[in-house]
Amino acid sequence: MSVYTDLRGPELEDFLSRYNVGQLLDFVGIADGIENSNYFVTTDQGRFVLTLFEHEQDNHGLHYCLALMAYLSEQAIPSARPMCDVSRNYLGTLKNKPTALVERLRGASVSSPSLGQCQIIGTTLATMHVAAQSYPAFRKNERGRDWHVETAAQIRDHLPAADQALLDTELAFLQAFDFGRCPQGVIHADLFRDNVLFEGSRLSGLIDFYYAHNGSLLYDLAVTVCDWCFNSDAVFEEAKAHALVGAYATTRVVAVNETEAWLPCLRSAGLRFWLSRLKDRLYPRGGQLTHIKDPDPFKAILQACHRDTELLLSVWH
């Protein structure tokens, strides 16, 4: 949620005039994240998050995500609700960029989740997967196999030989694995700790659905485990993983063929975020506030998938 597009007060006031959200009081850029320009916006009627989408080529994906957030909110899933303008559109335009205004939920992300918070996120993710089965729209995975190959080609020559070998191994493995054999549905695909808000022990909201698409439900769980259950040194925290996965499996029945795909899902998640962060490090974008995340923890996760196979599989035993 870095800031690449600078806003002035009159520009924002003009944009907000299309919404029934009151008069602008204050706004400030958000430094976290890497993809879009984000601002906290306060009016005399509420608190909101304004997002200017910097790199979205197809508005279909944005409409999918914003309508999904509204749908989940109606299904009692704690998702931030997008605001409609006076023409009942979720997506607007500001400075010639697609823009959304979303309610700002209370709470804060956690840096070191407790076992109880891991259980809560496991239950919530499974509940979301079940509730979203009735969501009618479809969006393909824009960071699937083609994206992996294209991004790897951009960054491979910048890597040391050992990292090139790891990259080649993971690409070959994932090209051969059929994720379509696992149950599919709507997935968040980026449910990191900074996209979940807590007020104490209560989960108050899920945010940043802009990578959401139709894909493997177990892959979504793997993405979540990669961030919630590995510590800052990329060491697997077995107790947290058992808590999270156990709570998930209690809420949604996980098929045998899904558990057999657990390591491939972890490897796919690790490769995706290793590649994306390497690309951001090698090809940084200009902006007022930017935050480049470290790719090394996800390289370490990939290495753990080779080294600690039995430990990672133990969450299903």
Final residue before a domain boundary, out of 103, 136, 152: 103
**What pLDDT digit, counting tens, does each position of 86-145 carry?**
999 999 999 999 999 999 999 999 999 999 999 999 999 999 999 999 999 999 999 999
Domain shared by 275 and 226, yes or no: yes
Domain shared by 131 and 239, yes or no: yes
Residue 58 contacts residue 314 (beta carbons within 8 Å): no
Final residue before a domain boundary, out of 103, 125, 152: 103
The values of phi and psi at residue 8, to 5°, are -110, 155
Domain shared by 83 and 40, yes or no: yes
Q: What CATH number did the domain enclosing 85 receive?
A: 3.30.200.20
Final residue before a domain boundary, out of 70, 103, 136: 103
Domain that holds residue 96: 9-103
What single letter denotes the amino acid at residue 122? G
Domain shared by 120 and 39, yes or no: no
**What pLDDT digit, counting tens, does each position of 48-90 carry?**
999 999 875 578 999 999 999 999 999 999 999 999 999 999 9
Domain shared by 85 and 188, yes or no: no
Domain shared by 95 and 121, yes or no: no
Domain shared by 157 and 270, yes or no: yes
Q: What CATH number did the domain enclosing 154 receive?
A: 3.90.1200.10
Domain shared by 60 and 209, yes or no: no
pTM of the entire predicted model: 0.93
194 in a domain, yes or no?
yes
Domain shared by 170 and 206, yes or no: yes
How far apart CA 35 and CA 315 sit, in angstroms, is 32
142 in a domain, yes or no?
yes
**What pLDDT digit, counting tens, does each position of 170-222 carry?**
999 999 999 988 999 999 999 999 999 999 889 999 999 999 999 999 999 99
Structurally, the chain folds into a number of domains equal to 2
Of 161, 164, 150, nearest to 279 (Cα)? 150
3 in a domain, yes or no?
no
25 in a domain, yes or no?
yes
